[in-house]
Structure 1
């Protein structure tokens, strides 16, 4: 379950961020999770609960926004949504593409008290 290691990285960022501020508790954590991370929302929820236990994040709401895969063709520069794992430019049929969205795991915001 790689979601535990992903959440470990998220909590490192949360701890660094919270160390700069006086916070009583965290109410909400928003994450952007790219589809190519293969992270399952339910598994992320479980990992969040495990990491937040006995911390100021315990009981916080976890909001996960899934980020679809988008790519750009290196040949014609066309930007498009990737619908399947067969990466092919729908404009020129070139296979030389660059993924520009969908690989991220981003702590978007924290709501704190």
Structure 2
């Protein structure tokens, strides 16, 4: 389960952001998670619930997640399509020269301070 490591990374980032912006408390954190990033939302939230109580400035902070759809691009026909639905083969031209445009990201989108 790499979700716990991700939570620790988020907390480290939040600590730096809190110091830079003179924040004493965080009410919520919104993350953008790619549909094919390999992050399991329920595991991430369980790890978050455990970890937030160990850090005073984020104690009780809510974790909000937003999914970024996985979209691939076909170099043959220059069209994009839903990766999860069609995989690596383009549904328009059956081309296999495709690559992922979005859906593998993991970003802190927003931090709400108290």
TM-score by length of 1: 0.89
Aligned residues: 113
* Structure 2 unaligned spans of 5+: none
| 1:31 correspondence with 2:44 | no
**Cα shift at 1:85:** 6.5
3-state SS, counterpart of residue 19 of structure 1: helix
- Residue in 1 aligned with 2:49? 49
**Cα shift at 1:24:** 2.1
**CA shift digits 1:5-54 (9 cap, x unpaired):** 22222222212211201112100100011121221211111221233223
More helix by share: 2
* Structure 1 unaligned spans of 5+: none
3-state SS, counterpart of residue 81 of structure 2: strand
Structure 1 outlier segments of 4+, above 6 Å: none
- Residue in 2 aligned with 1:10? 10
Q: Give RMSD over aligned pairs.
A: 1.5
